[in-house]
Amino acid sequence: MPHYVSLGTIPHKRHTQFRKPDGQLYAEELFSTEGFSSDSSLLYHIYPPTRIFKTDAPVDVTPKISEEKMLKHRCFLGFNIKPETDYLDSRKAILLNSDVILSLAAPAKGTGNYFFKNADSDEVIFIHEGEGVLHTPYGELPFGYGDYIVIPRGCVYQINFKTEKNRLLVVEAHSPVRYPKKYLSPYGQLLESSPYCERDIRVPQNLNPINQEGDFLVKAKKKGMLYGFHYKNHPFDVVGWDGCCYPFAFSIHDFEPITGRIHQPPPVHLTFEGRNFVICSFVPRKYDYHPLSIPAPYNHSNIDSDELLYYVDGQFMSRKHVERGMITLHPGGIPHGPQPGAAEKSIGKTETEELAVMIDTFHPLELTNYALEIEDPNYINSWVE
């Protein structure tokens, strides 16, 4: 992410001698997700971040595809995903393509005594229920209801929850997740017209380097395999860092909606973007104020994207029988719109309390076994009286 952050102790000049109290050099690490040609950070470790002494046999965690091709409106009851104790076990991939993996999770516990690193995907974890702390080499990120936690690929983390009742929507993106280009100045500042700004971005805090040697298991995920690496020292041994590539949190409640006299199109809800997908936030807002306006969305043809809507909270004006955690998927190729009567019923309404996350992918999504297990098969008929 573009804005510069510095935390802890760092040397005056990069790539120069920076010594520990015992006279030894700190181990400098450049961290980026796109080589040396995009945003990066420099971290200063007590120990080199390379001290692997043992590896475990890899475990295959590739999602099982049940429907590779389909053209049908679908609906999934997300809260029917069963809770699991372990954080990684709890993440159930439901939809995916070559750009993203979308998962639901109800973890009762966090990562416990291991560390996790997604080696080929940036992660966006939307916290529907639960609160806790994400621990990283960059410091801590406390999180709660409505937060998007954005973690660059390669960042080692541990996640801890306060209670056992947690519901997450996880986006794994095989490309960097960025602020939308249209919100940025040519030099990377969020523009005045953007629905959020740098002040809304919560960066890591409480950097407490852990100087500890022992056996520290980092589970690293790459291409559907989970690899175990045992390190000689605690991964959170960073005494200082600076740069523009780091995990952060942004609350959906800090997204300032853009409204108008007539219905505004979905791109006003744009929040993050990656290669061939976008993440949008639908938040409580005033409705359109033209005297003849129709607040309900118009029917539209999404020929070049699959539209996924994850219902979070509040009343939804365009659809009856919505429950929390429900996902609708409108694949590119069939027009969709409000249910019968919803347009007429919306006239005169002045505001909405709806809260939802939309993910549009520009290539078709495939369905996994978990998606079929939680599907509402009657959804396809919900537009007829």
Residue carrying structure tokens 């804005």: 3
Residues 6+ apart with CB under 8 A from 80: 373, 374
Encoding tokens for residue 72?
């049908």
Choose between 52 and 334: whose C-beta lies nearer to Fe ion.
Answer: 334
Q: How far is the CB of 330 from Fe ion (least distance, A)?
A: 6
Q: How far is the CB of 328 from Fe ion (least distance, A)?
A: 9
Asked if 194 contacts 292 with a C-beta cutoff of 8 angstroms, the reply is no
Choose between 153 and 330: whose C-beta lies nearer to Fe ion.
Answer: 330
Is residue 99 a contact point for Fe ion (CB under 5 A)?
no
Residue carrying structure tokens 């950070």: 41
Q: How far is the CB of 357 from Fe ion (least distance, A)?
A: 14
Residue carrying structure tokens 């990069």: 14
Choose between 222 and 263: whose C-beta lies nearer to Fe ion.
Answer: 263
Residue carrying structure tokens 């997740």: 177
Range 291-320, binding Fe ion (CB under 5 A): 307
How many positions of this chain bind Fe ion (CB under 5 A)?
1
Choose between 28 and 307: whose C-beta lies nearer to Fe ion.
Answer: 307
The closest alpha carbon to 324, from 171, 57, 96, 104, belongs to: 104
**Which residue has the closest beta carbon to Fe ion?**
307
Asked if 250 contacts 201 with a C-beta cutoff of 8 angstroms, the reply is yes
Q: How far is the CB of 321 from Fe ion (least distance, A)?
A: 18
Torsion of CA 369, 371, 376, 378, to 10 degrees: -80
Q: What phi and psi, each to the nearest 5 degrees, are found at residue 173?
A: -115, 125
x/- map, 225-264, Fe ion, by CB under 5 A: ----------------------------------------
Q: Give me the amino acid identity at 216.
A: F
Choose between 28 and 354: whose C-beta lies nearer to Fe ion.
Answer: 354
Q: How far is the CB of 69 from Fe ion (least distance, A)?
A: 21
- Contact residues toward Fe ion (CB under 5 A) are 307
